[in-house]
A and B are shown apart, each in its own frame.
Chain A
Amino acid sequence: MRLKRMLAAALGFAMMALPVAAQDFIADIPRNETLIIQGPASQNAEWFNLWAPGGGASNNGLQQLTADTFWWINPEGTGETAWTNALATERPSYNDDFTQMTVKLREGIYWSDGVEFTAEDVVYTVETLIANPGMNWSAPLTVNVESVEAPDRNTVVFTLKAPNSRFHTLFTVRWNAAWIMPKHVFETVEDPLGFANNPPVSLSAYVLHSYDPSGQWVIWRLRDDWQRTSIGMTVEEEPQVKYVVYRNAGNPDARVIEQMNHNLDVINDIAPEGMFTIARQAGANSAYWFDGFPFAHPDPTLPSVLFNHQVEPFDNRDVRWALALLIDIRAVAMGSYRGAANLAAMSTPPTGTAITDYYEPMQQWLTDFELDTGAQTIKPYDPTVADQIAALVRPQWGEDIPEDPEQLKSMFGFGWWKQDIQAATELLQRAGFTKQGNQWMKPDGTPFTIRLMVEGDNIPTLARAGTIIAQTWSMEGIQTQVDVAGPTNGQRLGAGDYEAATYWTVETWGGHPDLSFFLESYHSDFIQEPGAVQPPRNLQRWQNEELDAIIEANRTVAFDDPKVVELGMDYLKLAVEEMPFIPLMAYNKFAPFDTTYWTGYPSAANPYSASGPFWSNTRYMIVELEANANAPQ
């Protein structure tokens, strides 16, 4: 009995002690002035050198809140509003043959230690990076820059080694860009690669407040002189977010719990199931990219089924098209994202400006597109896929799913290819394949099997998509084995050590129609021999003369030239005809916001900023947020 009494007493004590023992979530900082954002863990927390490789976790607020450069593109934006002149006062100015770029700098910008930012900082940055191979942005600057000069305090002139109409993109932020170094700090350092830069001098509106030596969190504070920064000059009133906490919030389940406990205002990504839990249980205190289902924010990246063109039979266009026509995209959307996928039939993500520049104008071309299977000509495009997926998810989400076809397109995509087993059969037969029982045989008489590589748990939605596609192909007579590559995924893709894979090789500016962001690296000049490492991004090693011609033409036109869109369309049509990889969807991220303390987050209806907190563009969100008047005090 005594033992039982002791146990009961211990339990009772624990029940009382635990709540009493609880501490404030953050010590000595007012919660209602603090925005808490999911960040990465940093191994070397003491490091704040953005220019050293691996020198600290750059996306723990360092690049978002302290760094700056000439121009920024909002990946969610369209038209003129997507472009921002930050440290520069105007767009880049090239000479006629694109061998010289002149940049006019903004006046009145100061580093956080009170030193004025001038053209000398830019010249120092470029020269220092070139002089130190291995530093971030050293290699592209070395390849391009012949010399850099500052004729006056506010002008920088770059002379290039060869014509390059896209040189300015090195200094244009989408995720990041070549950040400007504080000359007065780094010039006192012997080895800029070995310099911790702690505390970092900031060129943006926030400065380092404190950090965890274990790398779990970093706290940033609004600068007293926030107006003397390029972002400070874009806002009319003092930003209400005084402190920004980037914290490693653990695994996806923990992130959901932390947000529901109001300890994590901004999530970078969670699984669809976590998103649905937040929407159902904490919907009153949450905001999302879409007001309801599918909630997710589409990144300007394009998950696809990649084929290694240096491995037979994936070098055969008929085989690639046959594999595309075997896929039931509805099953892929339901199985990977539980329906919350933004489908893409074309080889550019259906986000930002691509909607108005490419997807809307090319719908008729897609509908009219004919594919000769050898036995018949078909029109494979199905513009009603969004309606079909809406019908599949409506029983679960009811009134959240609108009837308006235009709204459905923005939620689920414009259309995709019809599953057409007969056409796929005809294409395979034309390629010399035969069917024995339910097994397709290659022209050499061996069974047609595929190893489909997926990364695994790191990107669960793509692993699920790969598994469903593998099942479909297997059912149709092409035995497909899912190959989980884990941390070797990127390396194996680079070395061409795969047959097929679910990953992406297309990323775009999002807020600008120029496709050189990824397309430049698709030129056949850069294709490596099998086994050698392929530079990003043409990991499928697609080689095509027409493609080369498009890329070469794009090099000769200016970034903002209307011909950019025409050339973009030429590429998209070629990619449909050749099907070098099978585009599936935009990379949808489930990134809910907690509105308990802050409101005014970006959304599909008001895409004024990137919403992914690892993107440097998030800074435009942070200075615009408004304190929730009903927040707990």
Chain B
Amino acid sequence: MDGFSKYLVRRVFQFFLVVFLGITLAFLITNLSPVDPVEQTVSLMTNFGATDPRAVELMREALRELYGLEGTVLEQYAAFWSRVLRGDFGPSLSSFPTPVMSLITAALPWTIGLLTLSLAFTWTLGNLLGALAGYFRSNLALKLAGAAVMALHPVPAYIIGLVLLLIFGFAWPVLPISGGAQMNLTPGFTWDYIRSILIHGTLPALSLVLVGIGSWFISMRSLVSNIVTDDHVVYAELGGVASRKIFSQYVARNALLPQLTGLALSLGNIFGGAVIIEFLFNYPGMGRLLIQGIYRGDYSLVLGVTTMSIIAVAVAVFIIDLVYPLIDPRVRLG
């Protein structure tokens, strides 16, 4: 077995192990939740209305049977895995009897779209600016850009989001602050709809970009600052190689490898940040679904969203791992 094959087998094994452990942990944590979905539904059904205590007890019994909450934790765990392998998370308890998978299918594209776009921007822009700042260290504009992104870096995403909401929603109201697309617009591959999605996604994405860009900038600048003093770069400079070529081929490419590893490691964190941003901007993605599920004690839904998130992040990391050998020949050659 050559080096690449060994690498691949190891990564596939790791992928399945991470998914298995992550989902098992999610199952245990959601089952420990003190929020009882039956009580939440009873509360919704009796809220604001006259309540006959005998009827409430009857209601409680009926819902417990309807939701299928019988059985030990182990039995529920076994049933859960058998459903997951069939791509079925059962019915949502807070939106009974809609299947959890239907809710996730509706929300997932929004989150994938938001995260992919904002991550692509964050990673590309952060690394590009960081690399430029590390290479052209005396450039004033890059120094200012560095100061700005570093100042934003420690600020929590929801604070940035709130500030953007106030600026672009109130002081200069030119961008929508809520929702995923214009109301009453028919979804489809039309310019109006795509434009609407882009406009509505601007502020949530900008919040994630502004917060995320700093770490890529700082680490890339630091990497580049080290590489520019390496022998091969100094030699190239002395040999009269064009500085643009030195920057792109000798410096940036070498500095990019650890950044790719960092990208894989950061995906989980970015999803966590997106949950809050989606909630703040009322964005119809997985984050909002997750928070609603937690509040309603809907552990089918929470488990479904968490499982899909674990799989999505693990797949993304796996893909990056597969791409890695194409960039770094040392991995390819073992």
* A interface residues with partner B (beta carbon < 8 Å): 3-4, 7, 18-19, 21-29, 41, 43-47, 52-56, 133-134, 136, 138-140, 142-144, 166, 169-170, 174-177, 193-194, 209-210, 212-217, 219, 245, 247-251, 253-254, 257-258, 260-261, 487-488, 490-491, 494, 507, 516-518, 520-521, 525-526, 533, 535-537, 615
A41-B182 contact in complex given A138-B62, A139-B56, A139-B62, C-beta closer than 8 Å: no
Contacts of A170 in B (CB 8 A): 50
* Also in contact, A43 and B103, with CB within 8 A (given A53-B45, A175-B48, A257-B177): yes
CA distance A393 to B92 in the complex (A): 48
A3 CB, min distance to chain B CBs, angstroms: 5
| Nearest Cβ on chain A to B81's Cβ, whole angstroms | 25
Cβ contact of A537, chosen from B51, B180, B184, cutoff 8 A:
B51
* B35 touching A491, Cβ below 8 Å: yes
Query: Counting CB contacts under 8 A, is B141 at the interface?
Result: yes
Decide: A41 near B199, CB < 8 A? Known: A23-B182, A142-B58, A535-B53: no
| Chain B residues closer than 8 Å to A54, beta-carbon distance | 41, 44, 92-96
Q: Which residue of A lies closest to B51 (CB)?
A: A536
Which residue in chain A gives the minimum CB-CB distance to B289?
A: A43
B179 touches A488 (CB 8 A): no
| One of B141, B162, B196 near A3 (C-beta < 8 A) | B141
Measured CA separation A142–B54 after assembly (Å): 10
Query: Measured between alpha carbons, how far is A215 from B95 in the docked complex, in Å?
Result: 12
CA distance A217 to B179 in the complex (A): 9
Q: Which residues of A contact B301 (CB under 8 A)?
A: 43
Nearest B residue to A45 by beta-carbon distance? Answer: B106
Check A133/B62 contact, CB under 8 A, given A54-B41, A54-B93, A169-B50: yes
Choose among A53, A177, A516 the residue with the greatest number of B CB atoms under 10 Å from its CB. A53
Chain A residues with CB below 8 A from B195, complex form: 21, 23
Quick one: which of B172-210 are within 8 Å of A by CB?
Answer: 173-175, 177-180, 182-185, 187, 192, 195-196, 199
A7 CA / B36 CA spacing, docked (Å): 54
Given contacts A22-B199, A210-B184, 7 further A-B contacts (CB under 8 A): A3-B142, A52-B97, A139-B58, A212-B284, A254-B178, A261-B173, A491-B39
Chain A's nearest CB lies how many Å from the CB of B99? 9
B294 touches A521 (CB 8 A): no
Q: Min CB distance, A352 to chain B, in Å?
A: 15
Nearest CB in chain A: distance from B134 CB, A:
15
Which residue on A lies nearest to B288, using beta carbons? A41
Tell me whether B166 is interfacial, beta carbon within 8 Å.
yes
- List 7 A-B pairs, minimum CB-CB distance, nearest first: A214-B284, A175-B48, A535-B53, A133-B62, A44-B95, A140-B55, A526-B53
Q: Which residues of B contact A507 (CB under 8 A)?
A: 48
Q: Are B184 and A27 in contact (CB under 8 A)?
A: yes
Is the Cβ of B169 less than 8 Å from the Cβ of A254? Answer: yes
Bound-state CA distance A47–B91 (Å) is 14
Q: Give CA–CA (A140, B45) in the complex, Å.
A: 11
A520 and B279 alpha carbons, distance in the complex (Å): 40
Report the bound CA distance from A217 to B178 in whole Å.
Answer: 11
Chain B window 23-63, contacts with chain A (Cβ cutoff 8 Å), 1 for yes, 0 for no: 00000000000111001110111111111111111111111
A615 — which chain B residues lie within 8 A by C-beta? 48
Q: In the assembly, what is the distance between CA of A170 and CA of B45, in Å?
A: 13
User: B76 contacts the other chain (Cβ, under 8 Å)?
Assistant: no
20 contacts between A and B (CB under 8 A): A3-B142, A19-B174, A23-B182, A23-B195, A27-B192, A28-B184, A41-B284, A43-B289, A56-B95, A139-B56, A193-B97, A216-B179, A216-B282, A217-B183, A217-B184, A219-B183, A257-B165, A494-B39, A520-B50, A520-B52
Interface string of B258-279 (1 = CB under 8 A from A): 0000000000000000000001
| A214 pairs with B180, CB closer than 8 A | yes
A521, B52: Cβ atoms under 8 Å?
yes
Complex Cα distance, B185 from A29, in Å, reads 10
Q: Which residue of A lies closest to B178 (CB)?
A: A250
Inter-chain CA distance A18–B288, complex, in Å, is: 26
Q: How far is the CB of A276 from chain B (nearest CB, A)?
A: 15
B16 at the interface (CB under 8 A from A): no
User: Given the complex of chains A and B, what is the CA–CA distance between A563 and B173 in angstroms?
Assistant: 58
- Residue ID in chain B nearest A164 by CB atoms: B52
Asked if A212 and B183 make an inter-chain contact with CB atoms under 8 angstroms apart, the answer reads yes
Q: How far is the CA of A143 from the CA of B110 in the complex (A)?
A: 45
- Complex Cα spacing A260 to B269, Å: 35
Q: Are A143 and B282 in contact (CB under 8 A)?
A: no
Is B280 interfacial (CB 8 A cutoff)? Answer: yes
Nearest chain B CB to A505's CB is how many angstroms away? 11
A275 nearest CB across to chain B (Å): 16
* B235 / chain A contacts, CB cutoff of 8 Å: none
Tell me which residues across on chain B come within 8 A of A23, comparing CB atoms.
182, 192, 195-196, 199
Report chain A residues within 8 Å CB of B52: 139-140, 143-144, 520-521
- Is the pair A43, B62 in contact by a Cβ cutoff of 8 Å? no
B217 within 8 A of A: no
> What's the minimum C-beta distance from A366 to chain B, rounded to whole angstroms?
28
Residues of B within 8 A of A47 (CB): 95, 98
CA distance A56 to B180 in the complex (A): 20
Q: State how many angstroms separate the Cβ of A271 from the closest Cβ of chain B.
A: 14
> Taking A26-B183, A261-B169, A490-B40 as contacts, is the C-beta distance between A176 and B95 under 8 angstroms?
no
Most chain A CB within 10 A, of B59, B65, B106, B184, is at: B184
Chain B residue with Cβ nearest A75: B48
Most buried by B among A44, A258, A517: A44
Chain B nearest Cβ from A531, distance in angstroms:
14
B52 (CB) vs chain A CBs: closest residue:
A140
Query: In this complex, what residue of B is CB-closest to A492?
Result: B34
Instruction: Decide: A52 and B96 in contact? CB cutoff 8 A.
Output: yes
A contact residues around B96 at 8 Å (CB):
52-55
Mark out the residues of chain B between 70 and 116 whose CB falls within 8 Å of any chain A CB in the assembled complex: 92-98, 102-103, 106-107, 110
**Interchain CA distance A516-B52 in the complex, whole Å:** 10
B55 contacts A533, CB within 8 Å? no
Closest to B132 in A: A3
* B199–A247 CB distance below 8 A: no
The residues of B that contact A516 with a CB separation of less than 8 Å are: 50
Question: Which A residues are CB-close (under 8 A) to B222?
Answer: none
Chain B residues near A248: list those with CB within 8 A. 178-179, 282
B292 within 8 Å of A (CB atoms): yes
Contact between B50 and A43, CB atoms less than 8 A apart: no
For window 235-287 of B, CB contacts with A under 8 Å fall at: 279-282, 284
Q: Are A175 and B184 in contact (CB under 8 A)?
A: no
Q: Is B56 a contact partner of A535 (Cβ separation < 8 A)?
A: yes
B159 at the interface (CB under 8 A from A): no
Q: Is the beta-carbon distance between B292 and A41 smaller than 8 angstroms?
A: yes
**For B97, B170, B301, which residue has the most chain A Cβ atoms within 10 angstroms?**
B97
When chains A and B are docked, how far (Å) is the Cα of A55 from the Cα of B41? 11
Contacts of A488 in B (CB 8 A): 34-35
Chain A residue at smallest Cβ distance from B47: A175
Please tell me if the beta carbons of A143 and B55 are within 8 angstroms of each other in the complex: yes
Asked if A41 and B282 make an inter-chain contact with CB atoms under 8 angstroms apart, the answer reads yes
Q: A43-B92, A139-B56, A516-B50 are in contact. Are A257 and B63 (CB under 8 A)?
A: no
Q: Taking the nearest CB of chain A, how far is it from the CB of B229, in angstroms?
A: 24
